Amino acid sequence: MQLKIFFFFLINKLETKNVNSYRNVLHDFLLGLRFWRIWYILGTKEIKLRYKRSKFGQLWHVLSTSLQITFMGLIWAYLFKIPVKEFFPYLAVGKIFFEYLSLSVTGGMTFYYKERSFLLGARLPKSIFAYASSTYSLVTFLHNFLVLVAVVFIFQIHINLNILFIIPGITLIFINSIWVTILLGYLGTRFRDIPPLITSIMSMLMMITPVLWKVEMLPLYVQKYMILNPFYVFIKINRDAIFGYSPDYLYWGVAFLITILGYIITFFMLKKIMNRISFWV
């Protein structure tokens, strides 16, 4: 109760008439958290509409993901001459987490535009739409996570206490998806060429990220540069957790660094253009 009172006090103290200030940006972020019911409804609305009147609903997407991983795992394991028991779980974890990261990027770019009627018709914090887009990506991922649970049991992957690192790992992706949605959402709304450009880049990133292939296939002098790929960083910390490996604190440090730098850049941008989104949609 005391924490809740402090939270509302902090929001009221941060409120300012100056729209071009970091305090106002922080106020928008904190105020958006108060309306969690709204951004949860917005985030799950598209899923409910897409599978309306369907008896299996989101499970169709889970089935599609399962079939893709099954055929890709068998074929790629044969092509790379790697045992299926070794390659299949590696592929499954990488693909499902890459889809989560990819959906957070591509979905966030157009979310402001898709919800323009709600954005213009209600006076609400702009951060609500970033929270809603991130919620949509997370709920979709959690459905696909059922595939990973099945893979763990089918291939009898040894589970130990390191699996608990998947909780902060997924949390970090969710936190980063918020600033990514804001940054690319604003830019994508202002410059309509950015969404198709980023979509094309995501296809390329799929090929250069160790998802369909193992990083150990690269020469040693190339492997060390994979830490520069943010998608691989977030996939690796979660993949290590699922496989029970000890956490690589270098990659965890890079993940936290990406998070901090991302929010610094986003706050700097919002200070300049936060209230212009209504004119761009």
Question: For 52-66, what is each residue's pLDDT tens digit?
Answer: 666 666 777 788 888
Within the chain, residue ranges assigned H as helices are 2-14, 22-34, 36-50, 59-80, 84-114, 116-121, 127-154, 166-190, 194-208, 220-223, 230-243, 249-273, 277-280
The answer to which of 114-128, 186-200, 248-262 has the lowest mean pLDDT is 114-128
The answer to which of 66-75, 113-122, 181-190 has the lowest mean pLDDT is 113-122
**30 within some domain:** no
More confident residue, 17 or 224: 224
Buried b (16+ CB within 10 A) or exposed e, 27-51: bbbbbbeebeebbeebbeebbeeee
- Cβ atoms of residues 238 and 166 within 8 Å: yes
Closest of 275, 122, 105 to residue 199, by C-alpha: 105
CA dihedral 250, 253, 254, 258 (to 10 degrees): 170
**188 within some domain:** yes
Count of CB atoms situated within 10 Å of the CB of 132: 26
Cα 115 from Cα 185, distance rounded (Å): 11
**247 within some domain:** yes
**230 within some domain:** yes
pLDDT band at residue 7 under the 50/70/90 scheme: very low
**21 within some domain:** no
Cα 48 from Cα 58, distance rounded (Å): 9
Cα 165 from Cα 206, distance rounded (Å): 24
pLDDT at 233: 94
With vertex at residue 10, the alpha carbon angle to CA 122 and CA 180, rounded to the nearest 5 degrees, is 55
**171 within some domain:** yes
Domains identified in the chain, total number: 1
pLDDT at 48: 74
pLDDT at 269: 84
Instruction: Collect all residues with Cβ–Cβ distance below 8 Å to 178 and sequence separation of at least 6.
Output: 127, 130, 131, 134
Cα 78 from Cα 67, distance rounded (Å): 17
Residue 268 three-state SS: helix
**276 within some domain:** yes
Q: Which two tokens stand for residue 240?
A: 């290590």
Cα 28 from Cα 266, distance rounded (Å): 13
Question: Hunting for tokens 């099945």 — which residue is that?
Answer: 150
CA dihedral 96, 65, 45, 39 (to 10 degrees): -10
pLDDT band at residue 138 under the 50/70/90 scheme: very high
Q: Does residue 222 carry a pLDDT above 90? A: no
User: Percentage of residues in the chain with pLDDT exceeding 70?
Assistant: 85
**58 within some domain:** yes
- Cβ atoms of residues 133 and 111 within 8 Å: yes
Q: Which domain holds residue 103?
A: 35-280
pLDDT at 167: 94
